[in-house]
């Protein structure tokens, strides 16, 4: 054994020109199974080595549905993929060409962990649409909003801590919260969004039971999956309740600019910038393939988010940041949002009309923005149990159970109108109606197939307390 001699010059790597044959043979001798490791099922030799948190990584229902949705014969009302076919691809292509030709040495290089300052200013310009006056110094660029959810959860959640979330709540957030071993406590929402009085009650209740509430997670705009925004009246009330109880708010707002009538609600952030982390994204107002979102946070939290972001990915993509920066600078991005609004409104209309025609005894929200409607099924029908039968009929949706951390939601499903064209939406609902009809016959013959049927008629805290 010999350590580096600190007093001599060392020539490293003096062995050279190994032939491919030589090393392939060596590798083959050492491990005849190389290249075949993914075939067959076998015992996981690292089973005992995983961290506790690895047990909490679950296959999300959305993920399984990505595979289903990709089959062309299936009408998928399941995913949340935006329809970006109307983007001006030729102009974007020319913009990308110019960007790389003129600024490629910067666009293809590492950048700072917090994100490129001119782009952080652009994000502030977009946020101004929601009446947010943010300082670019308080903005952190993230790899989509999902990364922001991950980083915020990472810096706040010890195993067993409580996160308050709407009932129902975004499945991707629930995945993160579960991965960090948080306990999610659902708070009711109604047609005006999260219910302030219920929030107040639930906070007291959770604390009375010893729960350590770290933050309220809310999708404040056109809600995923419920389709409703928090009303103008309730926004300051909710902020005030959280302020009084010293509870941070994590405001996730991917759909806020996609109100079909151009309604833009002031962000919760505007009412108390020191008590709210605001998350925005370009995935829905521009395109998701660049994976760019942003977080605005009180300065001390922002500093921790930057450190966490650096540990996670070093720095966000300069190419993606500069591409969107140029898009916002060179194109009429607000006109593009108008195009999106009109297109999604037409699809919403197609879905609601089809629901009225084919599923008249289901309840559903009629969203004024966003991508989703939240559909209550006729009594006794379970969304999760029905899903495989729906896929057999070539239509997919997301079971309401995906939007709860505790198995609730089987009496609802989320229908997305964002991706399929109107005629496919109509056909999808027609197929879905056949499935529901058959399901209803089975229920009337053999009784309820509902596995979980929690009481939604009361605002009483649900039994998922810490």
User: Phi then psi for 259, rounded to 5 degrees?
Assistant: -75, 130
Q: Is 374 helix (H, G, I), strand (E, B) or coil?
A: strand
7 is an interface residue for its own copies by CB under 8 A: yes
Minimum distance from CB of 54 to its own copies (Å)? Answer: 4
User: Which residue of 38, 73, 210, 463 would you call a contact of its own copies, by CB under 8 A?
Assistant: 38
Which residue matches tokens 């896929």? Answer: 391
412-416 β-sheet, strand order: 372-376, 412-416, 398-399
Nearest to 172 by CA among 187, 188, 162, 184: 184
Minimum distance from CB of 44 to its own copies (Å)? Answer: 4
The nearer residue to its own copies, 380 or 393, going by C-beta atoms, is 380
- Residues touching its own copies, count (CB under 8 A): 168
Query: Counting beta carbons within 10 angstroms of the beta carbon of residue 54, is it exposed (0 to 12), middle (13 to 18) or buried (19 or more)?
Result: exposed
Minimum distance from CB of 65 to its own copies (Å)? Answer: 12
In whole angstroms, give the CA distance from residue 264 to residue 281: 16
Print the binding letters for residues 180-199 with its own copies: x by CB under 8 A, - otherwise: --------xxxx---x-xx-
In whole angstroms, give the CA distance from residue 202 to residue 207: 8
Q: Which of residues 50-69 bind its own copies (CB under 8 A)?
A: 50-54, 57-60, 63, 66
DSSP letters for 94-118? HHHHHHHHHHHHHHTS---TT--HH
Minimum distance from CB of 361 to its own copies (Å)? Answer: 9
The nearer residue to its own copies, 3 or 446, going by C-beta atoms, is 3
User: Which residue of 205, 353, 406, 456 would you call a contact of its own copies, by CB under 8 A?
Assistant: 456
163 is an interface residue for its own copies by CB under 8 A: no
265 is an interface residue for its own copies by CB under 8 A: yes
DSSP 281: E
280 is an interface residue for its own copies by CB under 8 A: no
In whole angstroms, give the CA distance from residue 126 to residue 120: 10
User: Which residue of 68, 264, 450, 465 would you call a contact of its own copies, by CB under 8 A?
Assistant: 264
Q: Which of residues 289-308 bind its own copies (CB under 8 A)?
A: 289-291, 298-302, 304, 307-308
Give CA separation, 79 vs 111, 133, 166, 395, 398, in Å: 32, 33, 20, 12, 8
87 is an interface residue for its own copies by CB under 8 A: yes
Minimum distance from CB of 296 to its own copies (Å)? Answer: 9
460 is an interface residue for its own copies by CB under 8 A: no
User: Which span (335-343, 391-399, 433-441, 450-458) binds its own copies, by CB under 8 A?
Assistant: 450-458
175 is an interface residue for its own copies by CB under 8 A: yes
Minimum distance from CB of 385 to its own copies (Å)? Answer: 18
Q: Which of residues 312-371 bind its own copies (CB under 8 A)?
A: 312-320, 363-369
The nearer residue to its own copies, 260 or 390, going by C-beta atoms, is 260
User: Which span (99-107, 338-346, 400-408, 433-441) binds its own copies, by CB under 8 A?
Assistant: 99-107
Print the binding letters for residues 200-229 with its own copies: x by CB under 8 A, - otherwise: --------------xx------x---xxxx
User: Which residue of 65, 75, 126, 134 would you call a contact of its own copies, by CB under 8 A?
Assistant: 134
* Residue-level length of the chain: 466
User: Which residue of 115, 273, 420, 461 would you call a contact of its own copies, by CB under 8 A?
Assistant: 273
The nearer residue to its own copies, 137 or 451, going by C-beta atoms, is 137
428 is an interface residue for its own copies by CB under 8 A: no
The nearer residue to its own copies, 323 or 390, going by C-beta atoms, is 323
- Provide the 10 A C-beta neighbour count for residue 234: 21
In whole angstroms, give the CA distance from residue 462 to residue 186: 7
DSSP letters for 101-163? HHHHHHHTS---TT--HHHHHHHHHHHGGGT----GGGEEEESHHHHHHHHHHHHHPPTT-EE
User: Which residue of 117, 236, 330, 427 would you call a contact of its own copies, by CB under 8 A?
Assistant: 236
Query: Counting beta carbons within 10 angstroms of the beta carbon of residue 70, is it exposed (0 to 12), middle (13 to 18) or buried (19 or more)?
Result: exposed
Minimum distance from CB of 238 to its own copies (Å)? Answer: 12
Q: Is 180 helix (H, G, I), strand (E, B) or coil?
A: coil
**Cα-only R_g, the chain:** 25
The nearer residue to its own copies, 311 or 342, going by C-beta atoms, is 311
User: Which residue of 101, 210, 445, 463 would you call a contact of its own copies, by CB under 8 A?
Assistant: 101
Residues 6+ apart with CB under 8 A from 126: 257, 280, 285, 328
Sign of CA dihedral 302, 57, 389, 420: positive
**Pairing relation of β-strands 248-252 and 213-218?**
parallel
Two structure tokens written together for 344: 């999604």
Q: What is the largest CA-CA distance in the chain?
A: 88
272 is an interface residue for its own copies by CB under 8 A: yes
Print the binding letters for residues 370-409 with its own copies: x by CB under 8 A, - otherwise: ----x-x---------------------------------
């Amino acid at each position: 054994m010999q350590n580096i001699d600190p007093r001599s010059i060392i020539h490293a790597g003096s062995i050279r020109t190994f032939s491919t044959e030589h090393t392939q043979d060596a590798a083959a001798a050492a491990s005849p199974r190389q290249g075949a490791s993914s075939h067959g099922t076998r015992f996981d030799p690292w089973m005992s080595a995983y961290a506790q948190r690895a047990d909490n990584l679950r296959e999300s229902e959305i993920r399984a549905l990505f595979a289903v949705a990709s089959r062309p014969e299936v009408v998928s009302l399941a995913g949340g993929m935006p329809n970006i076919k109307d983007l001006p691809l030729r102009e974007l292509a020319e913009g990308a060409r110019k960007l790389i030709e003129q600024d490629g040495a910067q666009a293809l290089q590492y950048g700072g962990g917090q994100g490129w300052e001119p782009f952080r200013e652009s994000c502030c310009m977009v946020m101004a649409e929601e009446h947010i006056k943010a300082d670019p110094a308080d903005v952190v660029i993230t790899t989509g909003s999902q990364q922001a959810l991950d980083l915020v959860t990472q810096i706040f959640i010890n195993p067993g801590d409580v996160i308050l979330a709407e009932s129902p709540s975004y499945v991707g957030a629930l995945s993160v919260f579960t991965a960090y071993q948080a306990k999610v406590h659902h708070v009711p929402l109604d047609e005006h969004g999260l219910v302030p009085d219920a929030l107040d009650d639930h906070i007291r209740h959770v604390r009375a039971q010893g729960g350590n509430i770290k933050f309220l997670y809310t999708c404040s705009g056109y809600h995923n999956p419920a389709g409703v925004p928090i009303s103008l009246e309730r926004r300051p009330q909710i902020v005030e309740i959280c302020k009084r109880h010293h509870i941070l708010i994590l405001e996730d707002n991917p759909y806020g600019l996609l109100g079909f009538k151009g309604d833009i609600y002031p962000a919760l952030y505007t009412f108390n910038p020191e008590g709210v982390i605001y998350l925005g994204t370009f995935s829905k107002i521009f395109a998701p393939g660049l994976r760019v979102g942003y977080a605005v946070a009180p300065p001390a939290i922002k500093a921790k988010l930057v450190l966490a972001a650096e540990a996670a990915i070093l720095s966000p993509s300069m190419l993606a940041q500069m591409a969107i920066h140029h898009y916002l600078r060179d194109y009429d991005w607000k006109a593009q949002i108008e195009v999106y609004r009109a297109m999604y409104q037409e699809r919403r209309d197609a879905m609601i009309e089809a629901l009225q025609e084919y599923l008249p005894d289901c309840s559903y929200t009629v969203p004024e923005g966003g991508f989703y409607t939240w559909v209550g099924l006729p009594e006794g029908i379970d969304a999760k149990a029905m899903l495989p039968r729906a896929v057999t009929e070539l239509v997919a949706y997301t079971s309401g159970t995906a939007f709860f951390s505790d198995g609730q939601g089987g009496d609802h499903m989320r229908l997305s109108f964002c991706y399929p064209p109107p005629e496919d939406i109509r056909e999808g609902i027609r197929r879905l109606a056949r499935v529901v009809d058959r399901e209803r016959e089975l229920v009337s013959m053999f009784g309820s197939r509902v596995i979980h049927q929690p009481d939604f008629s009361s605002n009483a805290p649900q039994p998922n307390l810490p």
